[in-house]
Structure 1
């Protein structure tokens, strides 16, 4: 065991698909012997097998076997932000389990508040990441450990002998005596060496350090990006090349995710490259963790991002996007999609089929339509206000559908708008939160579910127009993938 760097403020204590909404997840569930394809609708709220919202923000997803079991499953760790509107109220680090990345079972809280310590209920515990340590046959969790005013600026560590067991808090410390806030840890699958990547020097610098063999402490400072103000780190390793993801700092507001490359975690690192189209702000997400799925037929690089709702953190959602790797120039990019499916066993993925109702083909009054800029699905868009709607008549099979609203909204940061969906005069599944957490002229897509039948009249109403132009130029209609 390495020398402990922790400020122990309490004796260690032992504590005891794409995913769909409840309506879709229940229909798609299959016995473990026949793994289901995972179905992803980025920005939709995700539910567990009991129909409750998944609360696992800022976390990581790893594959492993539980103690005493031969079944390998995916385990998702993350922050419980139930009913939170602001940070600084630690509730738990939750764990969910899935055999196939499709349906997620709530295992329970695996790290809970400890009174009188740096992880008390009025502390900050963010970005929990769990790695398996081969040397000690042990699971090690690192996290951003802080005070409610973000003045403590530490990393915390907890350990468990089982992946889904209770984690014992070992303490919190400052790596090399330096402050640490937004962070991640990464394990090189080839060498088993683990690394801490963290924002330091009052958030100005972005540093990389190796961990000791136990994964309890930092070992060596390897590289520092100076005066860059980056956060939300993540790492892929593709064909021997490291890809270090980051986002510029701007509170809960999504920014332009980018990445660097290097043949060594110690650098030197390349110039930065954007991960998605400029102005898209990584499709209004922030990187949480980057997952490599080594399928039997293909390898998938999977981006897991938080879709933060900065004024109501508990309602924040998650966005999973395939990462496209270009073997010619060795670049990576997010594949923009409103709905896609994955066979996690084979690694094969594809976009879900859909039909599109454009503004020009809708029943929206012509007086509310304006010409579209480049990037529209048609030639016109509905200029939405509190009194001007987007409407269409559905033609197709009856059943549960996912509606993907295609919109642009060049409004201020953290200005959230709501669109109500009514079908034949009845409110569908509540309100689709069009999560425009910053203005963008790049087309975005947000989803909601609705039950439709042939001939249904669908109306989209903007509930909280603020005077800024909000345009809907089309609606994608995805079939329930569990049908047929």
Structure 2
């Protein structure tokens, strides 16, 4: 019997070791590039469009839309991460085959909340019939595990009468659940109180901006103040985001006020995520740069994540940063400030330009009359050995040397994206680290749309550039 304590001690130590191995390590700060198509930890495009994030245990879980090639609904996908950059795919938690009603449905903007009383995870989403937007219904699915298979509970119009399109859900600090939903063809934005189990609508508590024509709502609470962030209703195209505040979800709510620039930096609100850590709580704007707005589909969409700032307890601001650094352990989100410059050819006075303001990879850069567009603005981002990446303001893609052209591509570590900049008087030459050749306007052409290439450095005026403001 004297061996029993030793055996128990060994078992306890083994259990502790197993638990330690199962627990994720504390997340290190991570830098996330904006305006890009995220990849999961397996290298696949991350499809969580129009989605929301839920913190459960040590992980953040991101749920969002995944479409078929023809842009119809395929699934709601779930990913998890401890640091908000490295996302592990977990499950297609809701699919076309989850219920007969979903076989031809269109599902948008899924959001998941946890109900502590029932122990269930509850997903709300916007449901349409798959052919048009005439149904305007909310829908609910539930699961006993955060990233398990969700059971379809059906779709309906809130309180049996109101249209429901873009929506979000919010759990207050007292456990009350709320649904925010665009109603009356998006002309009203309704705030509903949910039933105790979060699977139904109990009552309409506010319609603060009748006729406002708002969609893409995100509701969050900071220091006792409720913030509502929304976009205008312009389809897939980005527009001016606005926000309002209130002391309670039922109001009184302020009038809407502008935030960010006139297109929300080319994005639309999906969610606002509180990031809580040892240094406090930061609030992270999660936006979609919809692929449909630049000639693609939902699956081509990019993500725009920006820290929100609060000049006062009831005001909100948002600034563009090409990169953000997130420290989930500390609860901090900071942006990388960047100065964007034009590249003006000496011989022609024209700017290095991405034709058509394209956001696609593989597009060849040319020269064009300077016009102040974001497709002519470049961030000289310092990288290896004193060289720079030239990151486009409009596309978030990098200037890349090819055999017969210079194109914009996803930024990476290739030397073909690394450029040295050498000053000579008022001008600079821009030399590829990969080939040692210089950025050159082909044939010294002065015409709009003349190709920009790399060529043996020769000191010609078509290889001399001014970095404008």
Q: Please indicate the TM-score interval, normalised by the length of the shorter structure.
A: 0.7 to 0.9
Deviation at 1:153, TM superposition (A): 1.2
* Match in the other structure for 2:325: 341
1:348 Cα offset (Å) = 2.5
The match for 2:358 is: none
Specify which of 156, 162, 168 is matched with residue 184 of structure 1.
168
Question: Whose helix proportion is higher, 1 or 2?
Answer: 2
Contact 1:127 1:182 in 2 (8 A): yes
Q: Which residue of 2 aligns with 1:197?
A: 180
1:397 correspondence with 2:384 = yes
- Decide whether aligned partners of structure 1 residues 109 and 405 sit closer, same or farther in structure 2, where only a CA change above 3 A counts: same
Large movers: runs of 4+ above 6 Å: 388-396, 417-420, 472-476
Say whether residues 1:317 and 2:295 are aligned partners: no
Partner residue, 2:401: 423
Partner Cα separation in structure 1 for residue 272 and residue 380 of structure 2: 40
C-alpha deviation, 1:32, in angstroms: 4.4
Given candidates 255, 261, 267, the residue that maps to 1:285 is 267
- In the alignment, the residues of structure 2 paired with residue 393 and residue 289 of structure 1 have an alpha-carbon distance, to the nearest angstrom, of 31
CA contact (8 A) 1:63 1:75 kept: yes
Q: Distance in 1 between matches of 2:142 and 2:41?
A: 27
Work out whether 1:127 is the aligned partner of 2:109: yes
**Equivalent residue runs for 1:66-465 within 5 Å:** 72-84=58-70, 86=71, 89-114=72-97, 117-120=100-103, 122-148=104-130, 149-177=132-160, 178-188=162-172, 190-224=173-207, 225-277=209-261, 279=262, 281-310=263-292, 311-312=295-296, 313-327=298-312, 330-352=314-336, 358-359=341-342, 365-369=347-351, 383=369, 397-398=384-385, 403-406=390-393, 421-423=399-401, 425=403, 431-432=408-409, 448-449=411-412, 451=415, 452=418, 454=420, 455-456=431-432, 457=438
How far apart, CA to CA, are the structure 1 residues paired with 2:378 and 2:217? Answer: 41
Tell me which moved more, 284-293 or 335-344: 335-344
Q: Distance in 2 between matches of 1:229 and 1:390?
A: 33
SS of the aligned residue for 1:101 comes to: coil
Does the CA contact (< 8 Å) of 2:377 and 2:392 recur in 1?
no
SS in structure 1 at match of 2:349: helix
Pick closer, same or farther for the CA change 1:226–1:394 going to 2, 3 Å.
Answer: closer
Q: In the aligned structure 1, how far is the partner of 2:197 from the partner of 2:36?
A: 38
User: Whole-Å Cα distance in 2 between the matches of residues 393 and 103 of structure 1?
Assistant: 26
CA contact (8 A) 1:258 1:272 kept: yes
Match 2:33 to one of 41, 52, 71: 41
Alignment check: 8 A CA contact 1:55 1:82 kept: no
Structure possessing the higher relative contact order (Cα contacts under 8 Å, 6 or more residues apart): 1
Q: CA deviation at 1:252?
A: 0.4
Q: Is the 8 A contact 2:166 2:215 kept in 1?
A: yes
Cα deviation, residue 389, structure 1: 9.0
TM-score, normalised via structure 2 length: 0.74
**What is the CA deviation profile of residues 442-481 of structure 1, one whole-angstrom value per residue up to 9, with x for unaligned ones?**
xxxxx744532644145799xxx99xxxxx99799xxxxx
* CA apart distance, 1:235: 1.1
- For residues 320 and 246 of structure 2, the distance between their equivalents in structure 1, rounded to whole angstroms, comes to 25
Partner Cα separation in structure 2 for residue 399 and residue 51 of structure 1:
29
Q: What is the rounded CA distance, in whole Å, between the counterparts of 1:317 and 1:78 in structure 2?
A: 13
Shift of 1:176: 1.1
In structure 2, relative to structure 1, the CA distance for the partners of 1:34 and 1:197 (3 Å cut) is closer
Give unpaired runs (5+ residues) of structure 2: 1-22, 353-366, 421-430, 433-437, 443-447, 450-464
Q: TM-score, length-normalised on structure 1?
A: 0.72
Instruction: Write out per-residue CA displacement over residues 350-407 of structure 1, whole angstroms, 9 at most, x where no aligned residue.
Output: 33476x67336x666452159xxxxxxxxxx96369xx99999999625997542135
* 1:260–1:389 CA distance, 2 compared to 1 (3 A): closer
Q: Is the 8 A contact 1:118 1:146 kept in 2?
A: no
Which structure would you say has the larger Rg? 2
Superposed displacement of residue 56, structure 1? 0.6
CA RMSD between the two structures = 3.5
Question: Would you say how many aligned residue pairs link Structure 1 and Structure 2?
Answer: 386
Instruction: Report if the CA contact (8 A) 1:396-1:453 is conserved.
Output: no
- Tell me how far apart the structure 1 counterparts of residues 221 and 441 of structure 2 sit (CA, whole Å): 43
